[in-house]
Amino acid sequence: MKVIILCGGKGTRLREKTEMIPKPMVSIGGRPILWHIMKIYSSFGFSDFVLALGYKSEVIKQYFLNYRAMGSDFILDLDKNSDIQYQGEDPAENWKITFADTGEDTMTGSRVARVGKYIQGDSFLLTYGDGLADIDLNQLVRFHRAHGRIGTVSGVHMPSRFGKLVINTENCLVEKFTEKPLESGTADYINGGFFMFNREFFRYVDNDKSCVLEREPLEQLAKDGELAIYQHNGYWQCMDTYRDWLNLERLWQSGEAPWKPNQGFKSAKRNIEREI
């Protein structure tokens, strides 16, 4: 099953980082956020990617074209017409990547429509190029297949921008201080990306560049009773602003990045491989 990642936006609210590179290439811990997203999916066995490119697409292409060379020692004999001799082991990633230019000013729904020709299976996964989560893709796929609708959107809780105080009103003491907690106690969910769709979803998107995924396609899918929500109550964070980037970078540098694939993710990968 292929994974479409929307990589074409200009990231204007993160202009401190996106003047020269597209937002998916903004680095967290020395690796583009796109790499982190692909690591999440591949840890569950989904390693066939379709990148819907747009703004500064050449930066993403060059990164992966040079991926092995930039991460390895190699020998290049300039006097001979010979291949590069890489030293050491091959990269750990066994990713297959389709690079699809979908237009610099194309909206999200149109990008999905324009990469439809690369989707051969009955279903596919889809996400944005700027969101990270500790989501269990095993459970997401199982949930989608069980409800029988065309689409599934992962609903998440918006992380709080401020610290939360739990107080004792009688003695005016703070009983608990939580720095920027996840607002999981609320009933409201927002669109966290990490979609799964059946192939029929391509009827809802338009090749015209003005089609916005979050407007007509998803709104109509919901009206038709064909959009289910997978409730993810764990960690989720988009990289929408410079503040968001600072928070993600801090988590990675501290060694406490919740989205980082671990042994639990590897176990989930084996489970999903058995199921599909």
In a domain, 108, yes or no: yes
Provide the pLDDT for residue 269.
42
Between CA 276 and CA 273 the distance in angstroms is 5
Alpha carbon distance 202, 189 (integer Å): 25
Which pLDDT score, from 0 to 100, does residue 263 have?
A: 36
Rounded CA-CA distance 15/169 in Å is 43
Interatomic CA distance for residues 27 and 31, integer angstroms? 5
Give the pLDDT confidence score for residue 170 in this predicted structure: 76
**Is 0.75 surpassed by the pTM of this model?**
yes
Domain that holds residue 111: 3-153+191-275
Number of H helices, E strands in the chain: 9, 16
Confidence bin at 178 (pLDDT 50/70/90): low
* pLDDT for position 160: 66
- Neighbour count for residue 24 (Cβ, 10 Å): 30
Question: Which token pair is 254?
Answer: 């501290």
pLDDT digits (tens, 9 = 90+) for 244-273: 999 999 999 999 999 998 634 443 443 433
Q: Which of 228, 234, 205, 219 is nearest to 6 (CA)?
A: 205
| CATH code at position 41 | 3.90.550.10
| pLDDT per residue as tens digits for the range 122-145 | 999 999 999 999 999 999 999 999
Give the span between the Cα atoms of 115 and 99, in whole angstroms: 10
On whether residue 39 sits in a domain, the answer given is: yes
First to last CA, the chain: 9
Query: Rounded to an integer, what is the distance from CA 151 to the centroid of its chain?
Result: 17
Beta-sheet pairing, 27-28 with 227-231: unpaired
CA angle 271, 274, 276 (to 5 degrees): 110
Q: Is residue 186 part of a domain?
A: no
pLDDT, tens digit, 9 for 90 and up, residues 84-117? 887 777 667 889 999 999 999 999 999 999 999 9
Is the residue at 159 inside a domain?
no
* Residue 61 forms part of a structural domain: yes
Alpha helices for 165-262 (secondary structure H): 216-223, 242-254
CA-wise closest residue to 92 among 66, 120, 115, 72 = 72
Res 276 pLDDT > 90: no
Question: Vertex 98, ends 23 and 240: CA angle to 5°?
Answer: 15
33 domain residue, yes or no:
yes
CA–CA separation, 230 vs 126, rounded Å?
A: 14
Domain count, the chain: 1
DSSP string, 60-72: HHHHHHTHHHHTS
* Model confidence pLDDT, tens digit, residues 190-231: 899 999 999 999 999 998 889 999 999 999 999 999 999 999
Q: What is the mean pLDDT of residues 5-26?
A: 88
pLDDT band at 164 (very low <50, low <70, confident <90, very high): low
Residue 137, in any domain of the structure: yes
pLDDT > 70 fraction of the chain, expressed in percent and rounded: 84
| Helix, strand, or coil (residue 155) | strand
pLDDT of residue 179: 58
pLDDT by residue (tens digit) across 49-86? 999 999 999 999 999 998 888 877 888 888 777 788 87
